[in-house]
Structure 1
């Protein structure tokens, strides 16, 4: 049940249907991300795809009539209009048009009427309307879903399309469950169910394997604490400190990184070290990189001794693997070095220790004292300072001695941007007691209190990973 394999299969089918010959792959902004996460450019070139272009790009495309055009696009009104424009003034000799989801009959009719030169050889719907980051994880890169606390209609529609596409691509029978206390989760579930009913023939004929899966729709408001915490596993740290978008890391902000490392690709399908270590802790990563460097240095010394034709032949055969390993070593050493620098520069060990204490313990006086101290620490970033106050606000919202107003005033005195300290109150509105109905600072279950006391006596294995998300604590769901 791999999302990456599902997307790769669809892309492979598009190329197969276009037949032999040189091809151009015509995409939009979103399908470009979908393809780049599933296929390396070198892989596409091996399948006779030599040119990659955007239908929504500003640059004028020159006619190349000897190329076949494989168009992979989302079925949006804007893209349909661009395809119509393309067919009326074609740049390529043949067109194979594939949409990433369902397209309406009226749009198909418009496309047929626009094909005056009869260059379209294929139009088909595929179900590849999501960006596959890993076999088990996808995104649709929606920065904002809510207007206030209600769905943005366009975001709701996009989310429904993506979920439907995932279900169709995996060919699974699905049972939908959603969080009953969340209107947003209910609306999403209802809209998805309505689409599945409307397209019942499509879902029934998608070749279901017969095995049933559970689609569980939860509201982030149910657990607003987890995303506020600094993370200490490789992938999560990189995303937290630099940001990962479509498996690409922008390193422009790193002062010591060379021009060749300004953008780094972290794709588990193309990088064995990353695939094996993306969930490893920061300490484990450092040791594993050292082992990789030692192995690389051994191979480098071996390749320096080219004393015979057999040695040269062996070197040529192993050179692609050697070159990949060299690139992987440089990439991951650069990343780890930058993560280590930021950990020191932002005092993240001390900040994270306090975050974990806030998330897992109910000692108000300790929390308040240490938050005040770190808000005055020169190394604490504005973002970390704000998140500490947000954690305090969520954990001690109903505490009789809560000093949230005083902490917000400290943020203002630090000179943090106004949007930051105002966001503290927005966070309480978003994920506080009024909605959640659970007081995180209160633990009245005597069994839980006893277990917690024993755990505190024994200590914890890692003070930076004490917190467990609500989904794991209550239901046992894990990656």
Structure 2
């Protein structure tokens, strides 16, 4: 159940099957992003892949002595472009690989277009999703709903992406879905129908326990995307944004050109892999340790007094240079996060957010939100999320406080956004669980290690997905709220669970899943969704869903 390894193995097989010799990798925009998440360019160059092209590029040179590995999504547009390519081939031999099942009619079209008999192989490799880390994937499908219904093309894409995950992991699961979500119901039916149509693809050897695919709606937990985050991965996405494992730092004051964009991938960056779920204070301590290790290596590299020293320097230089880049990258990212936290007063704001979301002191929550809204340092986005959290938390209270708080927002469309969030995440659209909003929680305050005078990590909030998983694995998840797609019902405890959130995941939920897997050795949970949210993208999602 490793979604990264599954895609990497597929790409490795494509390259291996093409055999030795110079190769070109021909992709579309989506498969380019998918491959880049599992292979660094330097790594793939070592396997004689010397050129990367896109199928829609009109300015590709003719190189008949070169093999081409074509890895495309089986869309009608790509099939047409590939047919045109085969009629006037630019390369010597073509190895055609698709990220999902290809229809017989499309295969026939390709065969008819191959007049020069250049095609050596055609195969389906189910890498039709973006693997972020071993237990998290996305489809990069933001704003997929309008009036809380699927856009038809997005429903097809979601179905193909989700079934590709199942095929890559070799799982034929029982499907459960959130009953009060039309989008979950539609997706469950689409996935079930595709599995029935392509039964031969899903004919895997029966496992000891039946896997479960659980399809949820983002509307069931609108709190998680609104909260500021304090783990390294989640915080970076919230404040800087992560897209296909890349972070744009070009707007950071005084940034050097080689750090305009950096890659944060647990597959390619050992430091990031070891620290992505650590809190901000712990990251400070980790960065300090990384720098001390680098300084020690620097001092050892400076001692070049003999032939043996010179030889050791040459042998260690690539590793030294890589470590230098790692240090520069993470020091820059953490430094920028620290600057934003200070400039936007996020420690105080986040403490208030957590208390609003997790405590039950209404008068104190209202007073603190009002005070923060009055502060000139409060960013318009932070003000908006504070009012949104309060509105969701206390929507059942008959008071005019929400209206007065909306009047304090500086943004012109703030009132519209709050109304849309209320519609999106209203109580009537959530399934009933004991801690939709927990009562007073007695929390022992934790400390940011390495940050003087700053206490409280602000991790009171627990995403709702944890309670849903607990109920599922204990056999207590109500069938009335989460029915099965089809007549079969599970009698035993599932061992593998794939959770898919229509409307997007959050990195807080990813950290929760990682901890859940660590605490439950007999269970493996993989989380995926239509997109990965921070607060800004979630607000865009809400606007799209509620658009007139």
Match 1:478 to one of 506, 513, 520 = 513
TM-score by length of 1: 0.93
The CA deviation at 1:460 is: 6.5
Which has the larger displacement, 206-215 or 120-129? 206-215
Contact residue 396 and residue 402 of structure 1 kept, 8 A? no
Q: Distance in 2 between matches of 1:437 and 1:81?
A: 45
The CA deviation at 1:173 is: 3.3
Q: Distance in 2 between matches of 1:123 and 1:439?
A: 48
The equivalent residue for 2:51 is: 51
The CA deviation at 1:333 is: 0.2
Cα distance change, pair 208–253 in 1 and its aligned pair in 2 (3 A): farther
Show the 5 A alignment for 1:143-222: 143-204=142-203, 206=204, 211-222=209-220
- Provide, for residues 363-403 of structure 1, a one-character-per-residue CA deviation record: whole Å limited to 9, x for no partner: 22212222122112112111111111111110111112242
Identify the structure with bigger relative contact order (alpha carbons < 8 Å, sequence gap 6+).
2
Contact residue 144 and residue 155 of structure 1 kept, 8 A? no
Contact residue 460 and residue 466 of structure 1 kept, 8 A? no
Aligned length: 465
RMSD: 2.0
Show the 5 A alignment for 1:7-406: 7-57=7-57, 59-204=58-203, 206=204, 211-406=209-404
The equivalent residue for 2:463 is: 469
For structure 2, which runs of at least 5 residues remain unmatched after alignment? 448-455, 471-511, 515-548
Contact residue 396 and residue 440 of structure 1 kept, 8 A? no
Q: Distance in 2 between matches of 1:266 and 1:417?
A: 35
Q: Distance in 2 between matches of 1:110 and 1:130?
A: 26
For structure 1, which runs of at least 5 residues remain unmatched after alignment? none
TM-score by length of 2: 0.82
Contact residue 395 and residue 440 of structure 1 kept, 8 A? no
The equivalent residue for 1:424 is: 418
Q: Distance in 2 between matches of 1:356 and 1:475?
A: 22
Q: Distance in 2 between matches of 1:258 and 1:406?
A: 45
Contact residue 70 and residue 95 of structure 1 kept, 8 A? yes
Contact residue 26 and residue 52 of structure 1 kept, 8 A? yes
The CA deviation at 1:437 is: 6.4
Q: Distance in 1 between matches of 2:98 and 2:436?
A: 52
The equivalent residue for 2:450 is: none
- Provide, for residues 82-115 of structure 1, a one-character-per-residue CA deviation record: whole Å limited to 9, x for no partner: 1011111211111111010011111111111111
Which has the larger displacement, 384-393 or 459-468? 459-468
Q: Distance in 2 between matches of 1:391 and 1:144?
A: 21
Q: Distance in 2 between matches of 1:79 and 1:294?
A: 50
The equivalent residue for 2:520 is: none
The equivalent residue for 2:3 is: 3
The CA deviation at 1:282 is: 0.3
Which has the larger displacement, 242-251 or 358-367? 358-367
